[in-house]
Amino acid sequence: MGAPRLETARLTLTWPDDAQVRGYHDAIVGTDMFDTIVWDGPASPEELIEHWRARRDAGPPPVEAPLDLAVIENASGRYVGGVSLRPEDWPEIANVGYAFCPAVHGQGYATEAVGALVDHGFRKRRAERISACVFVGNTASRRVVEKLGFRLEGTARRAVHKRGRWLDEWILAITRPDWEAR
């Protein structure tokens, strides 16, 4: 059995090859994208390559395991972002995360890719609730999940320590009934 694969009109969510990883690394290093997400970025292209090689070597993850996928732009074959579906109290409760190259911001890729992953979580992984945590002030990221039917549930104060500062996070979620009603 090969790599996990979810497809949308413009994107394929799967595991990238080494050349795609190097291109993604070059596209994100030196940008401000890490100011708005928990991850501070890779130390090197090799770090990212090893991350994806470990996933490829392990094979397709079981339903109860996290699902990390690169977002590949179909038209160009470029790796433009990443999405993750992570268990919290699996299989019913999960959290979604996402990060995209600043060069593709505003093109709807995040909404399209996260939407495909959320649909997969409810259809194939039996999720009952999927949440997203977004740094307070990152309204673009908040809009991504709100467009998909996520609702703001509150603010977790001083939830993340990043670069010497405590940051608050918005907590948003969608439940199975919300998703079915879309």
Predicted confidence at residue 63, as pLDDT, reads 80
Q: Is there a domain that residue 171 lies in?
A: yes
pTM: 0.95
Q: Is there a domain that residue 1 lies in?
A: no
**Structurally, how many domains does the chain consist of?**
1
16 or 64, greater pLDDT: 16
List, in sequence order, the alpha helices (H) in the chain.
18-28, 45-58, 109-123, 139-147, 176-181
Q: Is there a domain that residue 104 lies in?
A: yes
**pLDDT(91) > 80:** no
Q: What domain range is 91 assigned to?
A: 6-181
CATH of the domain at 117: 3.40.630.30
**pLDDT(16) > 90:** yes
Cα four-point dihedral sign 160, 140, 11, 177:
positive
